[in-house]
């Protein structure tokens, strides 16, 4: 075997090793916003409010997700420590966004701020304890910023700050974005009222190709290298 042919074969092997894990992978992203809903959240009613929306046209499995939530006070205003909120999709993903922020063994009522217009991201600070961090309220008293979901998957009647966080947005990883997404919000205590103004999803997915697509991509690469090899090494005829 000639030295040049050996080098060519080594190049082919290296290319195959590098290309195989990524052959045909495609990344997609989508933003889905549901605003101006203005749905009253039943006061002091654990049956709460459910709002379902359909996502379509986003192929592949979820690898990243953030969620926006806008709750505004009505009447005399909202009380953030009253709210419990979850998100579920039709492929089995589930996250607890809120579970009565501020509730602790010392404070059974939670935080008294007037609603929120926030983004949930697993990398943020824990929304349950947001007053322990630097936080911002708008002129109406709504909490702003980006926060990690509460994640405490227990009854809102039993939750504490020490409850483990087990239901985060990462639970959606590996599930399909397409399908029905349902946001549930409940006001767990009488006396303050609010409404669901809107919510949103920002999702990134990776689509794995059909098995037949990978060999075709690799064959194309090998043929390209082969063609280049023969062009560079052919013997001229006179």
Q: At 81, is the secondary structure helix, strand, or coil?
A: helix
CATH of 26-207, one of 2.60.120.260, 3.40.50.620, 3.40.50.300, 1.10.340.30: 2.60.120.260
pTM of the model: 0.80
* Domain regions of the chain by residue span: 1-25+209-238, 26-207
Tokens of 103: 């509730």
Beta-strand ranges (E) seen in 90-168 are 94-99, 116-126, 143-148
Closest CA to 92 of 176, 206, 205: 176
Beta bridge partners of 148: 126
Query: How much of the chain is helix, strand and coil, in % rounded to 5?
Result: 25, 40, 40
In angstroms, the Cα distances linking 193 to 83, 127, 151, 155, 223 are: 10, 20, 23, 20, 67
For residue 11, the model assigns a pLDDT of: 60
pLDDT in tens, the chain (238 residues): 555 555 555 565 555 555 555 556 799 999 999 999 999 999 999 999 999 999 999 999 999 999 999 999 999 999 999 999 999 999 999 999 999 999 999 999 999 999 999 999 999 999 999 999 999 999 999 999 999 999 999 999 999 999 999 999 999 999 999 999 999 999 999 999 999 999 999 999 999 765 554 455 445 555 555 555 555 555 444 4
Using alpha carbons only, how large is the chain's radius of gyration in Å?
26
Spatial distance between the Cα atoms of 205 and 103, rounded to a whole number of angstroms: 35
For residue 210, the model assigns a pLDDT of: 58
* All residues at 6 or more sequence positions from 164 whose CB lies less than 8 Å from its CB, including other chains: 152
């Amino acid at each position: 075997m000639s030295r040049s042919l050996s080098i060519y074969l080594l190049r082919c092997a290296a290319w195959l090793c590098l290309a195989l894990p990524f052959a045909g992978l495609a990344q997609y992203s989508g933003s889905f916003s549901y605003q101006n809903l203005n749905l009253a959240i039943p006061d002091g009613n654990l049956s709460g409010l459910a709002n379902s929306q359909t996502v379509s046209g986003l192929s592949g499995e979820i690898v990243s997700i953030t969620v926006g939530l806008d709750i505004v006070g009505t009447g005399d205003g909202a009380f953030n420590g009253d709210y419990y909120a979850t998100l579920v999709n039709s492929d089995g993903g589930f996250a607890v966004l809120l579970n009565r922020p501020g509730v602790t063994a010392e404070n059974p009522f939670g935080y008294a701020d007037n609603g929120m217009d926030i983004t949930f991201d697993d990398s943020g600070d824990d929304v349950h304890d947001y007053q322990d961090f630097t936080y911002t309220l708008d002129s109406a008293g709504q909490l702003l910023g980006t926060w990690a979901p509460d994640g405490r998957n227990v009854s809102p009647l039993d939750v504490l700050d020490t409850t483990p966080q087990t239901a985060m947005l990462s639970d959606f990883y590996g599930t399909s974005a397409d399908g029905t997404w349902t946001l549930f919000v409940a006001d767990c205590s009488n006396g303050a009222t609010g409404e669901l103004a809107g919510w949103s999803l920002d999702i990134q997915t990776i689509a794995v190709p059909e098995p037949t697509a990978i060999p075709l991509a690799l064959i194309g690469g090998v043929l390209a290298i082969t063609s280049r090899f023969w062009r560079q090494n052919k013997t001229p005829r006179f």
